[in-house]
Structure 1
Amino acid sequence: MSNSPGRAGTEPEAPEQRGPIGAVSRAIRRRVMAGLLVALPVAITFFILFWLYGMLDAVVFSPMSWVIGQVLEASGVASDQLPGWWYRWVLPVINLATLPVLLYFLGLAARGRMHRAIDWMLLHVPVVTTIYKAVRGAFQAVEMQEASANTFQRVVLVEFPHPGMKAPAFVTRSMSDVRTGQTILCVYVPTTPIPSSGYLLMVPEDRVVELDWNIQETLQTVISGGLTAPETIDYFGQVGTPTVAEPTHRPPSSMGNARPAGLTESD
């Protein structure tokens, strides 16, 4: 029987495409992608550093050099009399030394009215707000990583957002229930890719699973959407053992001084 012309397009792939040549091409693509994943973060990091230095040079360093030159001329030293090493070494060092001072005062004003006004304005300008939110979220994630060591106590798994599903969470505080004495954990569930926004849950300690990841591994997993997650996880681990303390308030008993059942006056 002859093959139907209409089935010509459904012919199986040629053996050469699925054989050694296909394996080599797939291996080459994987190696190229791996090389890009290594090179791009480095290239982007240096690009941002060069761009930041160029911006600082135009906005801070050059005006500061001009101010220093005016001060020297006012003190009787002409700028054309200064040696070349002054411009090549001394002046850049002075500029770099004043940069931390400038950043320090900016940090003091970070929570001031001016910062809040600029933040409000950028969040209400069309188009600009999209870019500003992304950039601000990225830096908030970095800030959260720096402060996580002092803020979070440990990492756990909690059922979220539905029963049967679990999400990593950070324990921020422990409380005691006034009726049962059971330990209640305040946990923070970060969201992807910006962990600075998330959900606060109050969960009994016996309903969480201790996660065998450290805080940095968990934050990196959340930011990357799971791409950098550790290879192993104790997903079905034993839930935490509840810590029961003596209740601080006891509900009034309706039994009064009633004797236990089975006891008589003669007993």
Structure 2
Amino acid sequence: MSHPEGKPPSLMARLRRYIVAGILVLVPVGVTIFALRFLVNLLDRSLTLLPDRIQPEQLFGFQIPGLGIVLSLAVLILTGMLAANFFGRKLVEIGERILDRIPVVRSIYYGSKQIAETMFSGQSDAFRKPVLIPYPHENSWALAFVTNSDLGEIQHRTGQDVVGVYVPTTPNPTSGFNLMIPRKDVIELDMSVDEALRMIISLGVVVPVWNPDGKKVAKAVEAQGKKLPGKD
């Protein structure tokens, strides 16, 4: 930045620049530490499942952060090993028959099971493609993720080729809206799911750069007075 008559920047200008530079460094670090700390504390709660006499605080006299992650992974691996063999599958079938007789529990269990199978089976297109949809009205657009393209009765009742989409809220994408949109109104995007999530979390400030050939640039820029290539 040039200064009139070659004068160096004032003390206040330098302080302001240093403060901004400090914010740009520390805010992302702070948010990352906060998120990791939240995740570790959340998983550490799994230690409450252990009997009191073998709690880490009882054995070692102090708490070990992150031990809950190890316990959670061990439980997941052991459960997967058990469910993958014949004896384990029989136990799961017996458990599901019992749950099937409890009205409210049955709905929660099978709903959660279908979500897990859809998300982790690797055979579904759910949340694998970011799209643009006209929302909340036809003259505005919102980022969304396709959740299902086969809506059964809804397809028949609407008389249209519709797809299910999830519209996440900003800056917390874990809450949002489930909408059914005509396929003709859904615009597929070249950006990845990670890039779309970064744009949502940043309140639309961080935008992945796109060129007319559809090639993505890894670097993100602030969308302040800048025109994306291919846009008028």
Give the number of the structure whose alpha-carbon radius of gyration is greater: 1
TM-score, with length taken from structure 1: 0.42
TM-score, length-scaled by structure 2: 0.47
- Of Structure 1 and Structure 2, the greater strand share is in 2
